[in-house]
């Protein structure tokens, strides 16, 4: 039996990051049945691999912006007699839809059901749906880092799952649950040691949690001997906790270069509407300064164009970038299926826009301000993002990165921002070509 594990292409190019689901699901497969032949395909890097693929079963993991290309891949494979199992956040939020394009759907996390999926396939009795449970993370295998044959240069490590915050836009909590489940620290150390490269990414929703700062300190201390550099996603609130300084020192000493943090919204009104104040804390700017004072570079992620946002928020975000000396990565608001935001925005959504428009580059809903038309928001988004990614700003930011991270943090800054700049340019050109078509789709809503 041969299994292919496939990640559909990202919308606007790709970064040299190995999609973690590929190598991790390969490890789960090897653990369940060591005799299964496995092929991993990251279609962002090797799109031609699908045309020559020969296998018995294909597992396709889809996010909302990759759902449409994922369905197209499934159609090609099923036409050749290959069975298809869907998984991932979008398939879990929209299982009936995913089932229309595949033979089975894994809803939720795979660990508790994947061995059964493989057994059922071998026996010729695949069920339409498999519902994974939230189980302890005490027995997760080390990803199979040697199987991916592309040009990926960064691996992703997982140390916890779940999120207790109530941000309306987030799909992590519906998928992984409200309880924070931690992996044993020795297992994290084992997985980091197995990574062949000298730098990696901590792919957790949050690398440090309020109330669990000591756990983060213990993990960072245990990783100090790895000799590897890393980046991760962290919320701002724990940074200013009583243990925050010790935690940041431990993170820096074990090789942390960059913190990618959620600023979430420019306006306070949008932040409150998102119910994100509990995550970001009471003084976001002081938290950013604290990170930088501890020698950690900062990249900020935030959304523009919500129903509470104004035209001025686009300009204010550029001013914030210059004032804080950070790199900033905006997106237009995406009400992902299964989230509270999707329910709130449902009356205002442009329903003729399919999942291929859920990329963060298209306005997906009506705005109460007549001046904030969909096209205005989209044009402002692209121009704002390209201004933030102008070459003078990229290089100016490099000189503001703490010297403690030299040269790795400076190289990473370039390696992350330049591909994104290229992707945004591609997205802008595609938008200009599509805006007439998109305008027509939206106009149907008012006919």
Return d(Cα 216, Cα 239) in angstroms, integer: 12
Given 131, 165, 182, which residue is the final one in a domain? Answer: 131
Could you tell me if 206 and 182 are in contact, meaning their C-beta atoms sit under 8 angstroms apart? no
pLDDT tens sequence across 319-363: 999 999 999 999 999 999 999 999 999 999 999 999 999 999 999
232 and 163 within one domain: yes
Could you tell me if 138 and 184 are in contact, meaning their C-beta atoms sit under 8 angstroms apart? yes
22 and 162 within one domain: no
Q: What is the pLDDT at residue 396?
A: 87
The answer to whether residue 138 sits within a structural domain is no
**CA dihedral over 135, 140, 145, 148, signed as positive or negative:** negative
The pLDDT of 281-301, averaged and rounded, is: 94
Q: Residue 21: which CATH number?
A: 3.40.50.280
E strands of 123-162, at which residues? Answer: 129-131, 155-157, 160-161
pLDDT tens sequence across 156-165: 999 999 999 9
The answer to whether residue 420 sits within a structural domain is yes
**CA dihedral over 322, 313, 388, 166, signed as positive or negative:** positive
3-state secondary structure string across 89-112: HHHHHCHHHHHCCCCEEEECCCCC
The answer to whether residue 446 sits within a structural domain is no
Is the predicted pLDDT of residue 447 greater than 70, yes or no?
Answer: no
pLDDT tens sequence across 23-72: 999 999 999 999 999 999 999 999 999 999 999 999 999 999 999 999 99
393 and 285 within one domain: yes
What pTM was estimated for this model as a whole? 0.94
Sheet with 104-107, edge to edge strand ranges: 37-42, 2-7, 57-61, 83-87, 104-107, 129-131
5-14, 254-263, 295-304, 397-406: which range is least confident on average?
Answer: 397-406
Domain count, the chain: 2
For 285, which DSSP code? H
Q: What is the pLDDT at residue 357?
A: 95
Range of the domain at 69: 2-131
Q: Residue 314: which CATH number?
A: 3.80.30.20
162 and 122 within one domain: no
pLDDT tens sequence across 364-395: 999 999 999 999 999 999 999 999 999 999 98
171 and 29 within one domain: no
317 and 212 within one domain: yes
| Confidence at 285, pLDDT banded by 50, 70, 90 | very high
Return d(Cα 213, Cα 252) in angstroms, integer: 14
176 and 41 within one domain: no
Return d(Cα 396, Cα 393) in angstroms, integer: 5
| Confidence at 401, pLDDT banded by 50, 70, 90 | confident
Is the predicted pLDDT of residue 192 greater than 60, yes or no?
Answer: yes
Q: What is the pLDDT at residue 446?
A: 54
277 and 420 within one domain: yes
Pairing, β 129-131 against β 2-7: unpaired
242 and 115 within one domain: no
262 and 173 within one domain: yes
Residue 179's CB is within 10 A of a number of other CB atoms, namely 11
406 and 344 within one domain: yes
169 and 123 within one domain: no
| Confidence at 405, pLDDT banded by 50, 70, 90 | confident
Return d(Cα 145, Cα 149) in angstroms, integer: 10
Q: What is the pLDDT at residue 409?
A: 82
Q: What is the pLDDT at residue 58?
A: 98
Return d(Cα 426, Cα 424) in angstroms, integer: 5
Q: What is the pLDDT at residue 16?
A: 81
């Amino acid at each position: 039996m041969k299994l292919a594990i496939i990640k559909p292409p990202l919308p606007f190019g790709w970064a040299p990051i190995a999609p973690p689901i590929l190598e991790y699901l390969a490890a789960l497969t090897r653990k369940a049945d060591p005799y299964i032949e496995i092929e991993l395909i990251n279609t962002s890097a090797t799109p031609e691999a699908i045309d020559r693929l020969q296998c018995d079963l294909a597992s396709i993991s889809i996010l909302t912006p990759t759902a449409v290309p994922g369905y197209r891949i499934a159609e090609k494979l099923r036409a050749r007699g290959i069975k298809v199992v869907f998984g991932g956040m979008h398939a879990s939020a929209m299982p009936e839809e995913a089932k229309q394009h595949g033979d089975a759907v894994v809803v939720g996390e795979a660990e508790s059901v994947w061995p059964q999926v493989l057994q059922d396939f071998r026996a010729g009795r695949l069920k339409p749906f498999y519902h994974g449970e939230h189980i302890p993370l005490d027995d997760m295998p080390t990803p199979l880092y040697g199987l991916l044959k592309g040009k990926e240069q960064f691996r992703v490590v997982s140390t916890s799952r779940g999120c207790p915050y109530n941000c309306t836009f987030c799909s992590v909590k519906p998928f992984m649950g409200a309880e924070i489940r931690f992996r044993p620290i020795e297992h994290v150390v084992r997985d980091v040691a197995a990574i062949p490269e000298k730098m990696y990414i901590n792919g957790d929703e949050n690398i440090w949690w309020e109330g669990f700062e000591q756990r983060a300190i213990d993990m960072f201390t245990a990783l100090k001997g790895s000799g590897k550099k890393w980046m991760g996603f962290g919320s701002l609130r724990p940074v200013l906790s009583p243990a925050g300084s010790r935690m940041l020192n431990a993170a820096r000493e074990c090789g942390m270069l960059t913190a990618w943090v959620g600023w979430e919204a420019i306006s306070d009104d949008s932040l409150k509407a998102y119910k994100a104040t509990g995550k970001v804390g009471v003084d976001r700017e002081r938290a950013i300064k604290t990170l930088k004072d501890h020698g950690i570079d900062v990249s900020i992620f935030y959304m523009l164009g919500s129903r509470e946002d104004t035209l001025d928020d686009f300009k204010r975000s550029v001013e914030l970038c210059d004032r804080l000396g950070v790199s900033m990565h905006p997106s237009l608001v995406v009400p992902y299926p299964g989230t509270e935001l999707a329910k709130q925005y449902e009356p205002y959504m442009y329903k003729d826009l399919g999942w291929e428009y859920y990329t963060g580059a298209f306005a997906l809903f009506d705005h109460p301000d007549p001046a904030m038309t969909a096209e205005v928001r989209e044009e402002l988004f692209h121009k704002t993002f390209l201004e933030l990614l102008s070459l003078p700003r990229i290089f100016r930011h490099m000189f503001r990165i703490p010297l403690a991270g030299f040269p790795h943090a400076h190289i990473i800054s370039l390696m992350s921002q330049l591909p994104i700049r290229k992707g945004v340019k591609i997205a802008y050109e595609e938008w200009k070509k599509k805006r007439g078509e998109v305008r027509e789709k939206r106009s149907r809503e008012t006919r």
